[in-house]
Amino acid sequence: MKRRHKLASMTLGGLALGGVVGLVFAAQTLVAPGQQTDSAQGVKAPVTTTEDPAVTRGRYVAIAGDCAACHTDPHGGKPFAGGYALQTPFGKLLASNITSDKTTGIGAWTEAEFTRAVREGKGREGENLYPAMPYNAYVKVSDQDMHDLWAYMQTVPAVDNKVVSNQLPFPFNIRLMMMGWNLLFFDKTPFVPVASATTQINRGAYLVQGLGHCAACHTAKNFLGGDKGGAFLQGGDLAGWHAPEITSNPYVGIGGWTQAQVVQYLKTGSNDVAVASGPMAEAVTNSTQHMSDDDLVAIATYLQSIPGSSATKPQPLTATQSAMKQGANVYAANCSACHNSDGKGISGIAAGLANNPALQSANAQTLLTTVLQGGRGAVTQSNPTSGAMPSFAWKLSDSQVASLATYIRNTWGNAAPAVNADQVAQVRKDLSLPAQLGSSSAAN
């Protein structure tokens, strides 16, 4: 998950959606009472004991909502000063400046105007915002949390940085189009606790559905970019990655994980099964690692209470099939040094592949993207070095990558459909990665 393609997860026929999978340079996020992150690199500075409690709480709300991720340009940008380009299938949007600058930021806004923008998708002049800013999730943020977030944003240093956010081509630059999208897909229902659920599950639901906006990536979208009904958190595609199912399904979801494994993954970026990478690594680095243990337990409890998809485990391919034989050879030569011959990986460094639900999804895109492009695991306080995987696009052919993926998805207890070379070729093309060195395609 490279620099948070938070992005362009817009898939609307007119525009849309998703937005925010998280970025790497989240600044000024609450780590714990008495500490704050005041730079993109995570340098912590003490918070004065006289700080308004609302500001302290608001800082936590900002990190739970991963606000800095979109609104901070990673290329030398100041915290919350905007300018980060969200690349979409319809053109480019620039994240706005939300510092306290009165001219180019939100310093002259009222709290009511700020709340309306975050929860209703309406700008200061009443213009429609694009759902790359996930107001369709933030609508569930409580009045108290919105007030505290506003209090915190008032303390963000002003940065004079004028941003022209809407750089979409005609007709997508016509904001009135969003009226139709909102009519179809914007559910304005605030968060309502379930009376029969525990306080812990309701807290987890509030964080997942609202501030965490997990559905932006983990729920499949229709051709207009709206959430597909009945597919809540059952996996979604975005910018070259497949965000896996995170429900109680034990095969492709996290129903087979213990609560402790889920919490460890969100807190450190890895557990004995998986290592967070791509957009999820950035979300862990910027957001979930700084959240309280109680909130992470609440999230885990809620996710594992959600009924999952009907996906069931098929019979794995046999080791005697040609693709499996080739895949075994490719794995032994290129992957076993880090991921081990038994597929168990190295804790905190190289992902475990055995019985890994994310690898068994019908959609193998994340595996293909990782093999071709490489990646870096989440960098967290408990795992500051993380682990990195090199790109194999230059070394392996489409056929070799396909057989490798097929082998990984059908070994060590895994079972999933085979991958073919055409699928790999399409991913390679979409990512603009080179062909295998020395191949005819590379020569041309």
pLDDT digits (tens, 9 = 90+) for 290-349: 999 999 999 999 999 999 999 999 999 999 999 999 999 999 999 999 999 999 988 878
Domain boundary among 134, 159, 191: 191
Task: Verify that 81 and 170 share a domain, yes or no.
Answer: yes
Examine residue 444 and state whether it is found in any structural domain, yes or no.
no
Q: Assess contact for 310 and 248: CB atoms under 8 A.
A: no
Residue 247: which domain range?
A: 215-303
Q: How many CB atoms lie within 10 A of CB 258?
A: 12
Give the C-alpha separation, 212 to 227, whole Å.
16
Task: Verify that 149 and 229 share a domain, yes or no.
Answer: no
Examine residue 23 and state whether it is found in any structural domain, yes or no.
no
Half-sphere exposure of 215 (CA within 13 A, CB side): 25
pLDDT tens digits, residue range 11-44? 222 222 222 222 222 222 233 333 333 333 232 3
Question: What was the pLDDT predicted at 257?
Answer: 94
Task: Verify that 183 and 105 share a domain, yes or no.
Answer: yes
Work out the average pLDDT over 411-428. 96
Amino acid at 108: A
Cα 287 to Cα 65, 206, 266, 352: the distances in Å are: 8, 16, 9, 23
Q: At 311, list the tokens.
A: 């996906």
Examine residue 174 and state whether it is found in any structural domain, yes or no.
yes
Task: Verify that 105 and 70 share a domain, yes or no.
Answer: yes
pLDDT tens digits, residue range 81-130? 988 887 666 677 888 999 999 999 999 999 999 999 999 999 998 999 98
Task: Verify that 76 and 169 share a domain, yes or no.
Answer: yes
Question: What was the pLDDT predicted at 88?
Answer: 65
Q: At 46, list the tokens.
A: 């003490």
H/E element holding 58?
helix 53-64
Task: Verify that 179 and 246 share a domain, yes or no.
Answer: no
Examine residue 442 and state whether it is found in any structural domain, yes or no.
no
Number of domains, the chain: 3
- Comparing C-alpha atoms, which of 152, 296, 275, 143 is closest to residue 212? 296
Max CA pair span of the chain: 69
Examine residue 25 and state whether it is found in any structural domain, yes or no.
no
Task: Verify that 57 and 147 share a domain, yes or no.
Answer: yes
Task: Verify that 51 and 176 share a domain, yes or no.
Answer: yes
Q: Assess contact for 17 and 6: CB atoms under 8 A.
A: no
pLDDT band at 211 (very low <50, low <70, confident <90, very high): very high
Lowest mean pLDDT among 27-31, 53-57, 60-64, 357-361: 27-31
Global confidence as pTM? 0.84
Burial class (CB in 10 A: 0-12, 13-18, 19+), 229: exposed
Domain boundary among 191, 207, 230: 191
Task: Verify that 339 and 274 share a domain, yes or no.
Answer: no
Taken as a whole, the chain contains a residue count of 444
Average pLDDT, the chain: 85
Task: Verify that 236 and 375 share a domain, yes or no.
Answer: no
Examine residue 206 and state whether it is found in any structural domain, yes or no.
no
Domain CATH code at residue 358: 1.10.760.10
Examine residue 153 and state whether it is found in any structural domain, yes or no.
yes
Task: Verify that 283 and 175 share a domain, yes or no.
Answer: no
The DSSP output letter for 110 is -
Amino acid at 8: A
Work out the average pLDDT over 159-180. 82
Give the C-alpha separation, 277 to 255, whole Å.
20
Give the E-state strand segments of 74-203 in sequence order: 85-88, 91-94, 166-167
**pLDDT score of 1 more than 60:** no
Cα 125 to Cα 120, 162, 176: the distances in Å are: 13, 17, 13
- Comparing C-alpha atoms, which of 75, 65, 81 is closest to residue 21? 65
Domain boundary among 124, 156, 191: 191
Task: Verify that 147 and 57 share a domain, yes or no.
Answer: yes
Examine residue 205 and state whether it is found in any structural domain, yes or no.
no
- Comparing C-alpha atoms, which of 135, 117, 148 is closest to residue 185? 135
Work out the average pLDDT over 246-273. 94
